[in-house]
């Protein structure tokens, strides 16, 4: 679906909008929105309401054709729920129903005359983003490698948001941000859904290079010899068993002032995770192609902010490789030396994400970052703790880290891409003690997601840092199997908020 905005004034009434389908909202108990009331002055809706053909409950729809005195060919009535309480849940349900209804129509275009500013606790931008993401999600197809493609989306292809003249500028900005976000999520989904024999570390590196070319970003890809020169022994220990060469990707979007410290996003890029010598059970192992969703979310976020030309300095760092068993693979009990100089006893080769991330987190010190956020499908323990609704958010407990956590949590709430804060405390470090090295790479079953974060924390003490464990939110299993595109909404919104905060106020 393509989207645009159009403002309405007294001379451009909703009744005069020429479109294949005009969508207006109604409430429960037969109460009309402003746009619906304007149409009903001509008697277009009363009969449908009296007949009980539509209830006004969230997501209910009714199609009216050939309404006299109205320029639109069709009127779609959309239930929004109670008039005085259009909750975000109800509006989201209505948006989902809306895109399904538009897909059944025999016209190419539609205009939406809905109360975008009337959702409880939400703003115009939230409502527009909700509709755009619902539309793009509905039309998304994961058939890139099928010899016979899935049926193409039918129905409406162009959607226009009708807003008041006062909201015209805000609506245009909101739509641009929503479309960029949708494009970023689409890239993240596409990368996540590709199989491991296609989406290799080299494939991710080439994707980063294409992004850089398309949007004039800075890019650097380090290979094995350069990683060896940097003494990234922890990262390289994970790739020992694979035939695929490791890559270390650095993307730079320098949209802010030259002197401004960058925000750094670090994405885990294990393009397939067998567990290595600590081999995973075979059941559902195919889903370990999603172990690079942290990397995919960094690339998707860069796609979004680059499209928007965000006035902020952002650097993306992606360590990427496979974790495979072979005669060269790292063994349980092996000790490796990280870039930081700390030695690590590898008690379990399936706890490999933290081994590649720790060297990346040391590498980013050179950027003197304002903040660093790593994103990783790191632990099954996070799914045990939080299920598939919230990503796990881990930071230290002090003023700077509390502020970073609050900003990330707020961005998640604003987009529905929510996270929940978990502890990072020294008491958990006891579980990572080793008799033979500075640190062990696992701390046992208790608080597994916390000890994983505490492992990473040891490599981040020179800057403000947060860790997002997206093991439960990056993809869906079962009949709806596929990458979710999360946490691109959270990350993009956080960066947008940082750019707005950095923009000087007008005199």
Q: What is the pLDDT of residue 28?
A: 84
User: Considering 354, 396, 458, 486, which one is annotated as catalytic?
Assistant: 354
Could you tell me which residues are beta bridge partners of residue 247?
320
Q: Backbone phi, then psi, for 316, in 5-degree steps? A: -110, 130
Buried/exposed 301-334: b ≥16 CB within 10 Å, e otherwise = bbbbbbbbebebbbbbbbbbbbbbbeeebbeeeb
Q: What is the pLDDT of residue 48?
A: 83
Tell me how far apart the alpha carbons of residues 214 and 38 are, in angstroms, rounded to a whole number: 46
Buried/exposed 156-176: b ≥16 CB within 10 Å, e otherwise = beebbbbbeeebeebbbebbb
Q: Is the peptide bond before 487 cis (omega within 30 degrees of 0)?
A: yes
Tell me how far apart the alpha carbons of residues 294 and 354 are, in angstroms, rounded to a whole number: 12
Could you tell me which residues are beta bridge partners of residue 465?
372
200: CB partners within 8 A, 6+ apart = 244, 271, 322
User: Considering 280, 331, 462, 476, which one is annotated as catalytic?
Assistant: 280
DSSP conformation class of 431: G
Q: What is the pLDDT of residue 11?
A: 64
Q: What is the pLDDT of residue 505?
A: 47
Average pLDDT across each block of 10 residues of the chain; the chain has 507 residues. List them in order.
87 87 88 87 80 88 90 94 83 94 96 88 92 95 91 92 93 97 98 98 98 98 98 98 98 97 98 98 96 98 98 98 98 98 98 98 98 98 97 97 98 96 96 98 97 98 98 96 98 97 62
Judge whether 368 counts as a catalytic residue: no
DSSP result, 332-392:
TT-EEE-TTS-EEE-S-TT--HHHHHHHHHHHGGGG--SEEEEEE---HHHHHHHTTT-EE
> Where do we find the tokens 């975000």?
88
Tell me how far apart the alpha carbons of residues 131 and 229 are, in angstroms, rounded to a whole number: 49
Structure tokens at 51: 């007949």
Contact of 327 with 240, CB cutoff 8 Å? no
Tell me how far apart the alpha carbons of residues 374 and 453 are, in angstroms, rounded to a whole number: 10
pTM of the full structure: 0.96
Judge whether 354 counts as a catalytic residue: yes
Q: What is the pLDDT of residue 506?
A: 44
Q: What is the pLDDT of residue 68?
A: 86
Locate the DSSP E strands across 223-306.
247-254, 263-267, 269-273
Q: Backbone phi, then psi, for 176, in 5-degree steps? A: -60, -40
Q: What is the pLDDT of residue 314?
A: 98
User: Exposed (0-12), middle (13-18) or buried (19+): which is 348, by Cβ within 10 Å?
Assistant: middle
Q: With CA atoms as reference, report the closest residue to 306 among 366, 218, 226.
A: 218
């Amino acid at each position: 679906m393509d989207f645009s905005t159009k403002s309405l004034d007294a001379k451009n009434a909703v009744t005069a909008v020429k479109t294949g389908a005009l969508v207006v909202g109604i409430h429960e108990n037969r109460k009309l929105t402003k746009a619906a009331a304007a149409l009903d002055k001509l008697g277009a809706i009363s009969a449908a309401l009296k007949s009980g053909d539509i209830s006004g409950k969230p997501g209910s729809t009714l199609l009216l054709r050939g309404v006299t005195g109205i320029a639109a060919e069709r009127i779609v009535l959309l239930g929004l729920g109670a008039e005085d309480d259009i909750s975000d849940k109800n509006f989201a349900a209505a948006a989902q129903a809306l895109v399904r209804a538009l897909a059944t129509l025999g016209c190419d275009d539609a205009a939406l005359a809905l109360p975008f500013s009337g959702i409880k606790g939400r703003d115009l931008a939230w409502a527009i983003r909700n509709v755009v993401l619902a539309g793009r999600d509905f039309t998304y197809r994961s058939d890139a490698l099928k010899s016979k493609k899935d049926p193409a989306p039918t129905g409406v292809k162009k959607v226009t948001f009708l807003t008041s003249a006062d909201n015209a500028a805000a609506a245009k900005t909101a739509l641009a941000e929503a479309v960029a976000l949708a494009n970023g999520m689409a890239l993240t989904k596409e990368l996540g859904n590709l199989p491991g024999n296609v989406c290799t570390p080299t494939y991710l590196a080439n994707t980063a290079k294409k992004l850089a070319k398309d949007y004039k970003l800075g890019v650097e890809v380090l290979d094995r010899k350069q990683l060896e020169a940097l003494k990234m022994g922890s990262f390289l220990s994970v790739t020992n068993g694979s035939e695929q060469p490791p890559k270390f990707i650095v993307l730079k979007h320098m949209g802010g002032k030259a002197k401004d410290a960058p925000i750094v996003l670090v994405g885990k890029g294990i393009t397939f995770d067998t567990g290595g010598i600590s081999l995973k059970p075979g059941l559902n192992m195919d889903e370990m192609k999603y172990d690079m969703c942290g990397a995919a979310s960094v690339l998707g976020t860069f796609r979004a902010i680059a499209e928007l030309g965000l006035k902020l300095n952002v650097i993306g760092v992606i360590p990427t490789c496979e974790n495979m068993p072979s005669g060269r693979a790292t063994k349980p009990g092996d000790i490796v030396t990280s870039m930081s100089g700390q030695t690590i006893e590898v008690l379990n080769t399936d706890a490999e994400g933290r081994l590649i991330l720790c060297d990346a987190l040391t590498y980013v010190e050179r950027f003197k970052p304002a903040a660093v956020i790593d994103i990783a499908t790191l632990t099954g323990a996070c799914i045990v703790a939080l299920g598939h609704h919230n990503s796990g958010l881990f930071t230290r407990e002090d003023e700077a880290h509390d502020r970073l956590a609050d900003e990330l949590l707020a961005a998640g709430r604003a987009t529905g891409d929510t996270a929940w804060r978990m502890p990072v405390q020294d008491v958990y470090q006891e579980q990572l003690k080793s008799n033979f090295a500075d640190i062990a790479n696992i701390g046992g079953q208790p608080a597994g997601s916390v000890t994983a974060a505490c492992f990473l924390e040891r490599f981040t003490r020179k800057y403000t840092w947060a860790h997002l464990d997206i093991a439960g939110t990056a993809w869906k299993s079962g009949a709806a199997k596929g990458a979710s595109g999360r946490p691109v909404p959270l990350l993009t919104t956080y960066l947008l908020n940082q750019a707005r905060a950095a923009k000087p106020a007008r005199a």
